């Protein structure tokens, strides 16, 4: 969707296919340590880029827009708090990947401290973006799925679009990695297993990379074929 904001000459489904091809090699990374190197460099840069774009756009609009965006001291529809809560809580639903992160850490005993610092950073980032977004667009944000939809295609907008695309691409492997490890475990193709040693290094690498690629294709098919996929994610988050 954000790629479509940058260039709308092709449809969203075509963008999904393009990103499927791009993300396949990224999903071949075998351990969370390798993925972590990518996330700690490109991922952190993309977070800063997105943060700068979103906050600059929000504060700029708040101070320059005339008339100012409408604000409400209280939530007019209390049930909308449920949707807001699920959106925020989804950012913290990392239990599926914490075990693999801890397993691949150089010092696993440092995991609680690392997670605490990470969550503190998330709270700061979400708070800053929320403040800037509401000051900039106010209640008008209710007309959009997210703040990026409300942004104009100006310098701040394109910076935010590029940043969020980079962020999504680098963290895509993080989300799929536990499933990839589970598939390799179930098929007996984890490194060091008897089956993997019998097949040899390269045949095992080709097969596991193929399975990981298949998982990427499955996610792409879901994104294309399932209607209102983001809404279903929100509903699932509300239940879980």
Q: What is the pLDDT of residues 14-52, one digit of tens each?
A: 999 999 999 999 999 988 888 888 888 898 899 899 999
Position 170 in a domain: yes
Position 7 in a domain: no
Q: Report yes or no: 215 and 27 within 8 Å, Cβ to Cβ.
A: yes
Confidence of residue 103 (pLDDT cuts 50, 70, 90): confident
Instruction: Give the position of tokens 């000051």.
Output: 135
* Most confident segment among 22-26, 62-66, 121-125, 126-130: 22-26
pTM of the shown model: 0.77
Top pLDDT among 92 and 207 is at: 207
Q: What is the pLDDT of residues 158-207, one digit of tens each?
A: 999 999 999 888 888 888 888 898 999 999 998 888 899 999 989 999 99
Print burial letters for 17-44: b (CB count within 10 Å at least 16), e (below 16). eebbeebbebbbbbebeebbebbeeebe
Express as a percent the part of the chain with pLDDT over 70: 89
Q: Is 181 helix (H, G, I), strand (E, B) or coil?
A: helix
Count up the domains in the chain and report the number: 1
Confidence of residue 234 (pLDDT cuts 50, 70, 90): low
Q: Rounded to whole angstroms, how far apart are CA atoms 46 and 162?
A: 8
Position 6 in a domain: no
**What mean pLDDT do residues 118-134 have?**
89
Position 66 in a domain: yes
pLDDT at 28: 93
Instruction: Give the position of tokens 């297993």.
Output: 193
Could you tell me which of 34, 30, 35, 25 has the C-alpha nearest to residue 189?
30
Confidence of residue 239 (pLDDT cuts 50, 70, 90): low
Q: Which domain holds residue 63?
A: 12-239
Q: Rounded to whole angstroms, how far apart are CA atoms 19 and 154?
A: 24
pLDDT at 145 over 70: yes
Position 186 in a domain: yes
Position 111 in a domain: yes
Position 4 in a domain: no
Top pLDDT among 229 and 147 is at: 147
pLDDT at 205: 92
Position 218 in a domain: yes
Distance of CA 197 to the CA centre of its chain: 35
CB neighbours of 115 closer than 8 A, spacing ≥ 6? 98
Instruction: Give the position of tokens 């969370």.
Output: 32
Residue 98: both structure tokens together? 């914490």
Q: Rounded to whole angstroms, how far apart are CA atoms 4 and 218?
A: 21
pLDDT at 238 over 70: no
Q: Report yes or no: 125 and 47 within 8 Å, Cβ to Cβ.
A: yes
pLDDT at 94 over 80: no
**What mean pLDDT do residues 139-152 have?**
84
pLDDT at 73 over 70: yes
């Amino acid at each position: 969707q954000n790629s479509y904001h940058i260039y709308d000459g092709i449809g969203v489904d075509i963008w999904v296919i393009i990103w499927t091809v791009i993300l396949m090699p990224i999903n071949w990374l075998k351990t969370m340590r390798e993925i972590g190197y990518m996330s700690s460099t490109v991922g952190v840069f993309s977070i800063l880029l997105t943060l700068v774009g979103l906050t600059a756009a929000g504060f700029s609009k708040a101070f320059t827009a005339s008339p100012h965006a409408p604000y409400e001291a209280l939530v007019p529809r209390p049930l909308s708090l449920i949707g807001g809560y699920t959106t925020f809580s989804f950012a913290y639903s990392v239990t599926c990947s914490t075990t693999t992160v801890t397993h691949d850490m150089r010092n696993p005993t440092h995991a609680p401290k690392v997670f605490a610092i990470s969550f503190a950073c998330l709270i700061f980032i979400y708070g800053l973006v929320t403040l800037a977004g509401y000051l900039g667009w106010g209640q008008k944000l209710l007309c959009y799925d997210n703040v990026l939809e409300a942004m104009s295609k100006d310098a701040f907008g394109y910076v935010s679009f590029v940043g969020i695309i980079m962020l999504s691409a680098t963290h895509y492997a993080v989300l799929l990695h536990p499933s990839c490890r589970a598939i390799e475990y179930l098929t007996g193709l984890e490194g060091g297993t008897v089956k993997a040693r019998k097949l040899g290094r390269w045949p095992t690498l080709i097969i596991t990379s193929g399975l990981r690629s298949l998982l990427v294709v499955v996610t792409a098919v879901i994104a294309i074929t399932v209607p209102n996929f983001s809404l279903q994610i929100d509903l699932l988050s509300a239940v879980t």
